[in-house]
Amino acid sequence: MDSYEFLLYLGVMAGVTYLVRAVPFVLVKNKIENKYVRSFLGYIPYAVLAAMTIPGVFYSTRYFLSAVCGFVTAVLLAYFGKSLITVALSASLAVFVSGIVIDCF
């Protein structure tokens, strides 16, 4: 890829990114009062984070089963209100141990 092509792609990407961020400010002048729309907009960051993170969880290990063990461990500990560091370390340990067990068989 030559520098002209790179700068063209960079310019298009910058323009699209700017438009996605600027258009809502131009179109919506008043505060959004509808509680359903506000609730929907409040959940968007969590949905995007989950959509970006969950696939990476299942493809980050050599064995799909060890990824599932780590994911289930993390979900259960988070459900029971454990801290983020406890959830992360326990899920990592579950993936590590299940990977060793799978390697043995």
pLDDT value of residue 24: 83
Judge if pTM exceeds 0.85. no
pLDDT at 68: 96
Q: In the prediction, which pLDDT does 26 show?
A: 85
* pLDDT at residue number 5: 94
Nearest to 99 by CA among 71, 62, 59, 56: 62
CA–CA separation, 40 vs 50, rounded Å?
15
Per the listing, tokens 């809502």 go with 24
pLDDT of residue 6: 94
Q: Which residues of the chain have a pLDDT value below 50?
A: none
Q: Provide the pLDDT for residue 91.
A: 96
Helix, strand, coil percentages (3-state) for the chain, rounded to 5, are 80, 0, 20
